[in-house]
Structures are given as structure tokens and as C-alpha cells.
A = this chain, B = another copy of it.
Amino acid sequence: MNKLFDKLFPICRSITGSGLRKTLEILSEYIPLKKFNVKTGTQVLNWTIPKEWRVREAWLKGPDGKKIVDFNNHNLHLLNYSTPINKKLPLEELKDHLHTIPNQPDAIPYVTSYYKRRWGFCLRHSTYEHLKPGKYHAYIDSELVEGELNYGHAILPGESNKEILISSYICHPSMANNELSGPIVAAFLYNRLSNWSKRRFTYRFVFAPETIGAISYLDRFGKELQENLYSGLILNCIGGRSDLSYKLSRQENSPIDNIVKHLFNVDDNTPEGKIRSFTPIYGSDERQYCSPGFNLPIGQMARLVYGYSEYHTSLDNKELMTIEALHHSVNELEQIIKALELNGYYINQYPYGEVKLDQYDLYPDINSKRYEEHFKDKVIKNRNQLDQVLTILNYSDGLHSLYQIVEDYNYNILELSHVIEILKSRGLLKGPYFKEEV
């Protein structure tokens, strides 16, 4: 992870351009990405692909001829999507093109102007405050050209055509938590899942620029997702020294919503985290996936959520994000996905009366108050497991999902997998099925 981070961090990314393409190439070393492009001027949903932004060099020199900021030192110094300029101009005129954050004097702000043509520099307010009157030289060797927008995806097949989508975005320049954490965690999660011996779902991993990239993706694959998508997650700001934080899908009771709520609550062996309501006001690409026409069952997972003070500045760096947090995220996401795989509708094969469990070696053959006698040398090791057996069999009627059962009976869904395997191996239980199958 560390290596991947260090390769990706210095690249000047934007919603189009060579930095975006370079990022997709590096990710392809870790995941078998299939790459796509959309030409400038193409209509995608209610949007149009803009010209591609290319930048070679950019700096600002002071009256003394010394460079004050240089794109080569930190790519945040250049207003993202800046038009070209080569002009000497007095400080007062220059100030309209300078962006700072007065109450964060040491932070270079991240400023974009994708759809309105502007040129500009971003700098520390501490630098800005010491600018002296005089003639400045602003030099930006950039261009906006007919080009393309790029994105990629990787499909990991499973037993079912039903899909789980994992998406993150790759348009942010040199910032860490927002947003290298998402793509890196996605890449490593892909590898984790690809090593599973079997997968119930098909997994779709998407890497695209934020907003316009997601819109391009939906323009092409939206119909397919509406047909096949079971649930999904946008990964975003998923580093930092915080517990997980989950934003519900617009449906607010989609499979991923329910499973995450369950795992955050049920006990200490599952990920801890906070639930945020759905909102169309703030957020990431779930705003597109959850637009009313698509309304897909996709939530958003974060740790240190956008809005923290270092957000959208040069202070959003590796120390803030931490590689360790990304490891936690991969582990916790794997648990969540395991729970999604386990959930569903099971069917008790002998629903009339209780199953005669002792015939299947699943019930004590003596009944007394001496509990220790009951489970001697049995497959079922204790009363708790027996309770799980009885509960699962009673509610596996095609009307209760496993999620509903564990919520009603306060079990950790992941702990039931042992007993479910036993019941399936004895021919007593089949599943999991999807709702429309039962």
C-alpha cells in the first residue's frame, strides 16, 4: 500500500488529462482494469464532456524575479483547470487570481474551476501576506484541447450475475485522505476478494473522476447496473484516525444499509462506526448513483469524513491519512462483504413441525437439568449453538431474511455461518436465495 501511495501521490490529477491516465495505468499493475474513454463534447446524461486539460509548467515570479510558487513544487499551487497565461501585472491586479485560506495560513488550498475559464494560483496565506507591491510575472503553460475523459473498471465474477459495486474516484491531485485512500483501499479489497475460494456475487470495481466521471459511467453502464446491481459502496475519505462512517443509500434500507447498521451495532467483533443519513446536498458519487432516475442501492463509506479542517488543502497528507487506517478499512470492508454474502433467504427443508434434530446428531439425547450432560461429544457444542439452530430453522421460511432474523434475535450475522454450514450439509437448509427466488 505504501508503495502504491508513493507512486500515486505526486501526480497532478484532474477530471481529464494525462495525470488521470497515468493513475489508471499504475492501478492496472494491481487490478486487471478495463479502460474506457469518452471524447470531448460527448453528451453524458445532462452533462457534456469538457475539453481536456493539459499542463506543462506554471509559476509565479515576484518583482525581484524569484519564484514565489511553482507547480513543480506542489501541484496544488495551480488552480485546477487553469487556462494559460504569460503576463506581467501589478500585485493589485494579480490578487484577483490568487487563492488562499486566511484562517489556515500554512495550507495551500485546492481550488478548481472546471467549467468556467479562469487562470489562477493557490498559495499559503502566510506567503500571500508578505507579497510586496510591484510587477509580478504569471506564467502558466497549459491548454484546453479536444481530448477525452478516462475511467476503468474490473469485474470479478461470482456464482450469481447479481453485482456488488465498489467505486472510488481518481481526479484529485496531491492529497491523501481525499482522495487516494479510496482508490488504494479499493485496489487491495479487489485482491482480497479475488483470493476467496468462491464468491456468491459478481464484484464490479470502478475508478473514475468524481461527478463527471460517475455521470459518464452511468451514461454507459447505468442500465446494466439497474438490472444487475444488488448493492454497492462508494469509498471516499476512508483513511484517518476515526471509526468507519457510513452514509445510507437514498433507499435507506437497501441490503448494504441494513448490513452495515447491523454490524456497527451488534457486538465487539464487528466493525465500529457511525451512520449518516442520506442527503443529496453533500457527498461524493452516491449523489449520481442515487439520483432519482437511478436510485441505486449504493451507500458511501468513509472514515475521516469530508469537512475536516485539512480537507481540500495541502495539509491532507499521508500523516493525516495513515497507511494503517487503509489496512483497517480493507479488513472491515471484507467483513461487511462477507455478511452481505451470507445474508439472504434460507429455506428449512422440513418446515412442518420441528425437525427431529437428534436424528441428525444436532440435539441432546437426554433431557435433564444437568446441562453438561447434554452436549457431551455432540456436533452442537452448547446451548447457544442449539438456539441458533432452532432459530434459523424456525424462521427460514422464505419470508424472513437472515438479516431480519439476526436483528430480531440479536445475533451477530457472521457468527451464524458455522451453524448454517452444518444445517446445509445435513440437507436441512438451503440458501441463501434472493427475495425474488423464494
Contact = CB atoms under 8 A, between A and B. Distances in A.
Contacts of A294: 352-353
A279 B408 CA distance: 10
A111 interface: yes
B280 A393 contact: yes
Interface stretch (A113-121, A174-182, A188-196): A113-121
22 contacts: A44-B353, A45-B350, A45-B353, A46-B350, A46-B359, A101-B370, A109-B368, A110-B368, A111-B367, A112-B368, A116-B358, A116-B365, A218-B353, A280-B354, A280-B393, A281-B391, A290-B394, A291-B352, A292-B393, A293-B397, A294-B353, A313-B369
B352 A391 contact: no
Interface string A28-61: 0000000000000000111110000000000000
B47 A281 contact: no
A1 interface: no
A219 B350 CA distance: 13
A353 B280 CA distance: 11
A314 interface: no
B292 A369 contact: no
Contacts of A118: 366
A352 B287 CA distance: 10
Contacts of A45: 350, 352-353
A312 B390 CA distance: 22
B218 A292 contact: no
A291 B394 contact: yes
Interface string A251-272: 0000000000000000000000
Interface string A284-312: 00011011111100000000000000001
A379 interface: no
A294 B394 CA distance: 11
Interface in A306-340: 312-313
B353 A47 contact: yes
A396 interface: yes
A211 interface: yes
A99 interface: yes
A124 interface: no
A390 B280 contact: yes
A211 to B, nearest CB: 7
Interface residues of A, number: 60
Contacts of A368: 99, 109-112, 312
A18 interface: no
A394 B280 contact: yes
Interface in A385-438: 387, 390-391, 393-397
Nearest to A428: B46
Nearest to A364: B116
A351 interface: yes
Interface string A349-363: 011111110110000
Given A111-B367, A367-B112, A394-B250, A215 B353 contact: yes
B292 A46 contact: no
A83 interface: no
A354 B115 contact: no
- Give 10 closest A-B pairs by Cβ, nearest first: A293-B351, A280-B394, A116-B365, A293-B352, A292-B397, A45-B353, A111-B368, A292-B351, A46-B350, A215-B353
Contacts of A358: 115-116
Nearest to A47: B356
A295 B111 contact: no
A14 interface: no
Contact of A395 (B99, B292, B397): B292
A245 interface: no
A128 to B, nearest CB: 13
A354 B291 contact: yes
A348 interface: yes
